Structures are given as C-alpha cells and as structure tokens.
Amino acid sequence: MRAVVEGQHPLAAVLGCADSRVPVELLFDSGFGDLFVVRNAGTMSTTAAIASLEYAVGHLDVSLVVVLGHEACGAVSAALNPQLLLTPSLSQVVGQLRMELLQYGEHLSLEESCRRHTLSAAAILVHSSVLLTDRVRAGHLAVVAGYYDLHSSAIDWMGHVEPIGYPGPAQASISRQR
C-alpha cells in the first residue's frame, strides 16, 4: 500500500459493472495499484468512463483495457423490462441500454443481451475516443471484452476490439481469441 502513495502504475484498466457480485480486483487477484478500475451501472461506455480510461492509457501508459460484463446484469435486465418505474438518472442509463439492445431484436434472453452489450460497450469505448483508437491501431493498446459467469466465477474472453479503418463510419469488429 505504501508503494503506491507516490504515484500509480497500473498494469491494466478495467471497465466493469458497479454490481457488488463482480469484485474486479478480487477476480484478477490484484493488489494495490495493479488495476485502474472504472465501474458504473451496466458497464456503460459513458463520457466519464471513456475520459477515465483515456487518462489511464494516455497518462499512466496502460496498454490493456478489459471491458468486463457479467451474467444477470441488473441494468440490462431493466432495459429488457420497459414497464419498470425508475429514477430519472437510472431511466437515462437503462434507456441507452434499451436502444442499444433493440438493434439485436426484441426477443433476446437476458444472457444473450448481457453478452451482446459487453461486446458493444467495448466497441463503443474504442470508437468514442481518438486516443484509444489510435493506440489500438498502433499496436500500443489492446481492448478485450470478457464476460463473468456468476455461478462458476469463470471469465469467458470474447475477443479483442479492432477498429475498422475508413472510408465509412467508424465501426469495430471483435476478433474472438481463446
């Protein structure tokens, strides 16, 4: 703990869910200063999350970003249930998730919705930041999507995010590697 008082030099950054069942530092068996962790409801690639990860990559020289979704995400579950009454702030997050998930159709299971959202959050992260896109293209940054199974405590590594080049709108592809 004293070794990190003067500064931080994390090995990786993680964008994860605020869900208390997904203790990022414990899952990766990390100590003080090992991980730069950004958590929010639903593992969302929000402006604040992107800015935080840009800091980790741009100022702390982190070369690996993990986007970690999980089984039975409450925010994704709420997005699949439009009848829920939510606070205004939660409605905004859930509404974003609902719009994202509608592109995949209306009959996805919670499991499939959670998995697809994890991949989408990773792609949005890369394509919402010139810094992250440039670092990935230059080979100085890897952005990897993972899916945590609450029952087995296993992480399914779903692949690396690779920006697709121009011409055309920015898009990402996920290359599955095991």
Residue 166 has pLDDT above 90, yes or no: no
Q: What is the pLDDT of residue 177?
A: 52
Residue 174 has pLDDT above 80, yes or no: no
Question: Does this model's pTM top 0.75?
Answer: yes
Residue 165 has pLDDT above 80, yes or no: no
Q: What is the pLDDT of residue 109?
A: 95
pLDDT in tens, 56-105: 999 999 999 999 999 999 999 999 998 999 999 999 999 999 999 999 88
Q: Per-residue pLDDT averaged across 3-32, rounded?
A: 93
Q: What is the pLDDT of residue 171?
A: 47
pLDDT in tens, 99-157: 999 998 878 999 999 999 999 999 999 999 999 999 999 999 999 999 999 999 999 99
Q: Which residues contact 163 (CB under 8 A, 6 or more apart)?
A: 126, 127, 133, 136, 137, 170, 171, 172
Residue 168 has pLDDT above 60, yes or no: no
At 170, is the pLDDT very low, low, confident or very high (cuts 50, 70, 90)? very low
Q: What is the pLDDT of residue 55?
A: 98
